[in-house]
């Protein structure tokens, strides 16, 4: 992929992320033996209509086809994905509230994260939107992650404005 199609895939497509990889001798000195085992921690970002259980079966099938049928896979959790249609009336109310609270807003249809959106959108048939409250340089998920109090206050104001708008409906 190139250009815009690559950018769209990066922000809105499914991914397989390698979080960590450990194998072989890591102590002092040299060792020329082949490692007996390796540990890889991965996660998948799913998109709507992808079933986490089906993805695990696909991974196992792929590994077996490549000669790694003996690989042990431990599942920690899985969450289906969902997206609210940007033309849903709820979205315009959230945009209005975000513009009022933050001064301006950016509509982002997908992020590389997991939340309970599937339960709201699919099970409850309710629109669901995440409202970002982090500073773009806040080192999200790092040991020195931080939050700005001014942005947390603006996010709280935004949520209150959304509730007010729905209280009038």
Three-state DSSP at 118 gives helix
What pTM value is reported for the model?
0.70
Q: What pLDDT score does 155 carry?
A: 94
Write the pLDDT tens digit of every residue in 107-128: 876 665 667 788 888 888 888 8
Q: What pLDDT score does 95 carry?
A: 93
Q: What pLDDT score does 112 carry?
A: 58
Mutual orientation of helices 89-102 and 149-167 as an angle, nearest 10°?
Answer: 140
Q: Where are the beta strands (DSSP E) in the chain?
A: 15-23, 38-45
Q: Which of 42, 44, 111, 43 minimizes the C-alpha distance to 82?
A: 111
| β-sheet bridge partners, residue 15 | 45
Phi-psi region of 87 (alpha: psi -120 to 50; beta: other; left: phi over 0): alpha
pLDDT < 70 regions, the chain: 109-114, 168-169
């Amino acid at each position: 992929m190139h250009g815009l199609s690559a950018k769209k895939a990066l922000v809105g497509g499914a991914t397989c992320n390698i979080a960590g990889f450990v194998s072989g001798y890591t102590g002092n000195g040299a060792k020329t033996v082949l490692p007996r085992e390796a540990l890889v921690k991965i996660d998948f970002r799913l998109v709507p209509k992808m079933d986490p259980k089906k993805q695990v079966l696909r991974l196992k099938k792929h590994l077996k086809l490549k000669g790694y049928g003996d690989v042990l896979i431990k599942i920690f959790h899985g969450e289906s994905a969902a997206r609210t249609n940007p033309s849903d009336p709820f979205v315009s109310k959230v945009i209005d509230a975000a513009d009022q609270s933050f001064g301006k807003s950016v509509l982002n249809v997908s992020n590389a994260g997991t939340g309970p959106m599937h339960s709201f959108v699919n099970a409850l048939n309710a629109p669901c939107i995440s409202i970002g409250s982090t500073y773009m340089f806040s080192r999200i998920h790092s040991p020195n992650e931080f939050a700005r109090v001014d942005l947390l206050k603006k996010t709280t104001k935004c949520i209150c404005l959304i509730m007010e708008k729905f209280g009038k409906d």
